[in-house]
């Protein structure tokens, strides 16, 4: 996960993809380390969903 914290892209699509990767890695780490903390897992899941939505918006703009 530490490696993903430093990842930055050179384009909006790359930046959005790396944000999704970082949020997904945080969520996976929490699930492994604190599987009973469902409130925090749900909160991080929302961050993953927002990052996924952002990636989708950036991709749609790139296609236009």
Tens of pLDDT, residue by residue over 47-63, are 999 999 999 999 999 99
Q: Place 10 in a pLDDT band, splitting at 50, 70 and 90.
A: confident
User: Is residue 2 pLDDT above 90, yes or no?
Assistant: no
Tell me which residue range forms the domain holding 7.
2-63
User: Is residue 26 pLDDT above 80, yes or no?
Assistant: yes
What is the tally of structural domains in the chain? 1
User: Is residue 8 pLDDT above 90, yes or no?
Assistant: no
User: Is residue 12 pLDDT above 90, yes or no?
Assistant: yes
- In angstroms, rounded to a whole number, what is the distance separating the alpha carbons of residues 63 and 27? 30
pLDDT (average), residues 11-38: 96
Query: Could you give the C-alpha distances from 32 to 4, 20, 46, 48, 60, in angstroms and in order?
Result: 17, 18, 18, 16, 33
């Amino acid at each position: 996960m530490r490696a993903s914290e430093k990842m930055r892209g050179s384009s909006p699509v790359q930046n959005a993809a790396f944000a999704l990767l970082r949020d997904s890695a945080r969520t996976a780490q929490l699930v492994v380390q604190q599987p009973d903390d469902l409130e925090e897992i749900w909160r991080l899941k929302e961050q993953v969903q927002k990052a996924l939505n952002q990636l989708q918006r950036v991709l749609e703009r790139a296609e236009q």
